[in-house]
Amino acid sequence: MDDQEAVFKEVFGDSSDSEGYEQQQSPRLEEHDEMHEDRPTPTTFDQNTNWEQIKEIRGLWLCRDFLSAGQQSSVLFSIENEGWFTEASHNQAMRFGNLPAWASEISDSIRELVLLNDPGLDPMNLGTYYGAEEECAFPSDLLWREPLFDQLIVNAYQPGEGICAHVDLMRFEDGIAIVSLESSCVMHFTKVGEAYCDAANGGKPHPPATKIPVYLTPGSLVLISGEARYSWKHEINRKPGIQIWEGQELNQRRRISVTLRKLCRVD
């Protein structure tokens, strides 16, 4: 096991073991607890309060405390070790196919966390739970595809940098996950077709587009599927005056994001 893998297993635990979902989120923390007198409370995922459904947009879910501070450091350490961002001009890295171990661990944790909140998605519980599919953070057909994700993009944004409004390319399947690290930001969602477009309207002003702001803190996870994926654009505009949350302009630092998607099959 190399250093990076060891650190990752230390923080996330070994996802190949057969412990229950709740234990898998922080098994190593619990081991440490046994060794120390002044034990911190283990961080387990709360079954009901962890996920936030963005009510204006079907298929948009947020888990603010997806990665603990230690897990965030571990992921950042792994990303740093990849050596992708050693030069200031490098701000994006992509991987297709097998994900690096640390990204696979994130992918496994996403599946576990969705299941934890929606036990009815687990085939083991078929017929026992009857939850509405729209109450699930990820639809079951996406949750059980293999692999869950096979494409990774890591973006590094300096203060002031963001990403223009877009719908992710159709070459990717439904079901996208974004993990935020280092700096908080506001991601804005705009309905497709509602965005301001001068030329298409003969220069006449459009009514202002409905923009739904979503506050992404470090360690948070966003899941985007269905309407949120196909009928809404997302953007991060970090120009002055735009990154406002609860009336306050956010203090910007470098932001790293990890985006996981699945390529469409070409038969």
Residues forming contacts to Fe ion in the complex (CB under 5 A) are 168
Burial degree of 147 (CB within 10 A; 0-12, 13-18, 19+): middle
For residue 107, the partner it binds in Fe ion, ligand AKG, none, with Cβ less than 5 to 8 A by kind, is none
For residue 71, the partner it binds in Fe ion, ligand AKG, none, with Cβ less than 5 to 8 A by kind, is none
Minimal distance in Å, beta carbon 258 to ligand AKG?
8
Minimal distance in Å, beta carbon 201 to ligand AKG?
26
Q: For ligand AKG, which is the closer residue by CB, 50 or 259?
A: 259
Minimal distance in Å, beta carbon 178 to ligand AKG?
5
Q: Are 260 and 177 in contact (CB under 8 A)?
A: yes
For residue 250, the partner it binds in ligand AKG, Fe ion, none, with Cβ less than 5 to 8 A by kind, is none
In this structure, what token pair is assigned to residue 231?
A: 């009928």
Q: For Fe ion, which is the closer residue by CB, 99 or 236?
A: 236
Q: For ligand AKG, which is the closer residue by CB, 116 or 179?
A: 179
Q: Which residue has its beta carbon closest to ligand AKG? A: 257
Other CB atoms within 10 Å distance of the CB of residue 51: 23
Other CB atoms within 10 Å distance of the CB of residue 236: 21
Q: Find the distance separating the first CA and the last CA of the chain, reported in whole Å.
A: 37
Q: For ligand AKG, which is the closer residue by CB, 234 or 262?
A: 234
Q: Are 62 and 51 in contact (CB under 8 A)?
A: yes
Binding residues for ligand AKG, rule: CB under 6 A, are: 153, 155, 163, 168, 178, 234, 236, 257, 259
Distance CA 56, CA 71 (A): 30
For residue 155, the partner it binds in ligand AKG, Fe ion, none, with Cβ less than 5 to 8 A by kind, is ligand AKG
In this structure, what token pair is assigned to residue 209?
A: 């587009």
Q: For ligand AKG, which is the closer residue by CB, 21 or 61?
A: 61
Minimal distance in Å, beta carbon 79 to ligand AKG?
13
Minimal distance in Å, beta carbon 62 to ligand AKG?
12
Q: Are 234 and 178 in contact (CB under 8 A)?
A: no
Residue type, 267: D
Q: Are 218 and 75 in contact (CB under 8 A)?
A: no
